[in-house]
A and B are shown apart, each in its own frame.
Chain A
Amino acid sequence: MNEFFIRSLDASTIFTIAAIGELIGQRSGVINVGVEGVMLFGATLGFITAQVTGSYLLGFLVGIAIGALLGLLHGFFSVTLGGDQVVSGMGIWIMGFGLTTYIGNPYTGPLGMDRIPTFLGVSPFFYVGVALVVITWFVLSKTSLGLQIRSVGENPSVAEVSGVNVSRTRYWCSITGGMLMGFAGAVYALNYNPVWNYNFLMGWGFIALALVFFSMWNPFIMLAGSLLFGTLWQLSLNPQLVLPGLFSRYVWRTVPFAITLIVLFSMSMKWFRTRWGAAKPEALGLPYVKE
């Protein structure tokens, strides 16, 4: 049972890091629906680097770097070219899915390195994830930088008039978000499930995206959501812990996705929105054109 909780925390960590990356981007008004693609790239290239060089550190750095590059690419498409952010995100996802299948295939199989040591019984990345949540909350709601990011996401033309460089802010948020998504992918491939297989994320990125909508753009609610979904994911892999013998194991695998749907549906209902209000950044997904 203890093992189960530790694995759940590991799973939550990955959701947390990826979703906090998406949250930062969305707060600045840039939605990246290609989280899964960025994570796949971070996971695959991080895995290959670690296996070839034998260094975990290099693996994580490469995962972060490719995430930053993809964040930059998304920024270029959606800020500089002013294109449809959903099209660009879809492009990044399908590119990640297609290219990593080809690039990673020769490395199919286990990583074959010593496991990363735990700290106080839990993977060290759990603490990194919690720290990221606290830092993001602090920066976004307590600093002038955070005010700048939020104003760009709410009303870019007013922000521009008050002296904020909208394009630059959006670029940096997109790049930072990409780095975190790439890092989350690397944590998945190097720590949580160190066995490369084609498309081995199987929806983690999309659940991270759903978590941001679920969190109403609040890092702490997002952390709670990550813990919930991490546990759910782990339960869906080990159904014998709750209800032994009921349903096939394949039916259990659908549960996290079904619950995501139910959660998103319930929070979109009117009674929910009128009680808690929607904190959605006003300019989310809209390209900004300087007048």
Chain B
Amino acid sequence: MRIGSYELTLKKRETLAGWQAAVISTLAVVFALLLFSLVFVQAEANPLEAYKEIFDYAFFNPFGLPLTINRFIFLLLCACAFIIPIRAGLWNIGMTGQLYAGALSAFAVLFAFGVKGAKSAEYPGELIIPLMVVASMLGAVVVGTIAGYLKGKYNVNEIVVTMMLNFIMFWLVSFMIKDGGPFMNPGGRGESFELAKSLYAPLYKDVPFTVVLALGFALLLYWVFAKTKLGYQIRAYGQNPTAAEYAGISGVKISVLVFVLGAALAGLAGYHYFAAVPGVYKIARSYNFQGDLAFYGIICGLISQGNPIAAIPVALLFGGLTNGGRFVQGKLKLGFGIDYALLGVLMITLVAFQFFYRYQVVLVNTRKETPDE
């Protein structure tokens, strides 16, 4: 493309510095939000006003902010669950199934202690809560291992496998909580029994302790990728599996390991949303919503380019956007599913912007090379 005597050309990037990736990612998000304002226009709402409402509610409203923080914890865990395998070149889109497995395992601990139905009874929380956390991670690991093992050992496409597991777990949750399933609420409205009050996750200023775990794991993960041998092996495998195998890195080991670690975090996300967020404390009828929200983890992971620390602000932003989106949907009387539509627009914009991570647009002054006659 020519502009005067300048020519716009494309150059393939040799390297991508951290700040360059950050600029491109920010531009992608801004572009997606601009594109998304068309949805507001089509719904006859003023986009500026709508975005102002979204951010006001999500980050400055005493009711909205705690909800945003809870979604942030959930999304950060889901993002890390996606990031670990993607660094090894593998796609974990099974966060949904893994977090369902985590939630079911956490509730299985309650079930084993006979918590079902007695909301005000006293239980030893200092024993049961840690057990629930560990169980949620282990339960999810079982599901994740299937995908990692099948991929590593038999080269079965991990996207299909994790997606199949999502549907299997979705129906298993229905089985457990509906139609007289073992976890059904005695009141019987197609949802699980509720946690006893003594087993609510400890809060600090309305924020459950899972925030420490989520942030801690993100930092730990950054360190693992940057400084340890394991992190190096995962990255090497992701860049060139064949070369890595020649260098003595076991493909089976790496793919099982990344799915085990990723799934454990997704399971923790399941514990967080169903047993630690104030006001939930049960697997509700509409549990599919939390499952769908986990797909934002893919977007967070892609935008942060696999960097767990970069995923922190990204998860916070999307926690706020989805939460505020639901709010303006009610306030401005928009159609249902604003947050779903945003998910779609963000994702496809991001795919288009992948191009700029690989190529750079340069402005060349052609006058010097071809002087006017």
Contacts and interface: CB of A to CB of B under 8 A. Distances in A.
A79 to B, nearest CB: 13
B337 A198 contact: yes
A124 B13 CA distance: 52
Interface of A: 33, 77, 81, 83-84, 86-88, 90-92, 94-99, 101-103, 105-106, 198-199, 202-203, 206, 209-210, 213, 248-251, 253-254, 257-258, 260-261, 264-265, 268-269
A88 B146 CA distance: 25
B338 interface: yes
Contacts of B358: 83
Nearest to B334: A102
B344 A105 contact: no
A99 B167 contact: no
Nearest to B160: A210
A-B complex: 5 closest residue pairs judged by Cβ atoms: A98-B344, A91-B351, A102-B341, A250-B175, A268-B154
Nearest to B299: A94
B219 interface: no
Given A96-B344, A210-B164, A250-B179, A87 B354 contact: yes
B136 interface: no
Given A265-B154, A265-B156, A99 B341 contact: yes
A253 B171 CA distance: 7
A248 B358 CA distance: 50
B167 A257 contact: yes
Interface of B: 39, 91, 93, 146, 150, 154-157, 159-161, 163-165, 167-168, 171-172, 174-175, 178-181, 292, 295, 298-299, 302, 335-338, 340-345, 347-348, 350-352, 354-355, 358
Given A87-B351, A87-B354, A102-B338, A261 B343 contact: no
Given A91-B350, A254-B168, A206 B344 contact: no
Which of A33, A102, A199: most chain B CB closer than 10 A? A102
Given A86-B91, A254-B167, A254-B168, A97 B337 contact: no
Main SS of chain A's interface residues? helix
B175 A91 contact: no
Contacts of B348: 91-92, 94-95
Nearest to A251: B175
A275 B154 CA distance: 16
A102 B161 CA distance: 27
A83 B345 contact: no
B167 A202 contact: yes
Nearest to B348: A95
26 contacts: A77-B351, A81-B355, A83-B351, A87-B302, A87-B351, A90-B351, A94-B298, A94-B344, A95-B347, A97-B292, A97-B295, A101-B340, A103-B341, A105-B335, A105-B337, A206-B163, A248-B180, A249-B179, A250-B175, A254-B171, A257-B165, A258-B168, A260-B160, A261-B165, A268-B155, A268-B156
A253 B179 CA distance: 14
Given A94-B347, A95-B344, A98-B342, A83 B174 contact: no
A106 B163 CA distance: 28
Contacts of B155: 268
Nearest to B358: A83
A33 B159 contact: yes
A23 to B, nearest CB: 15
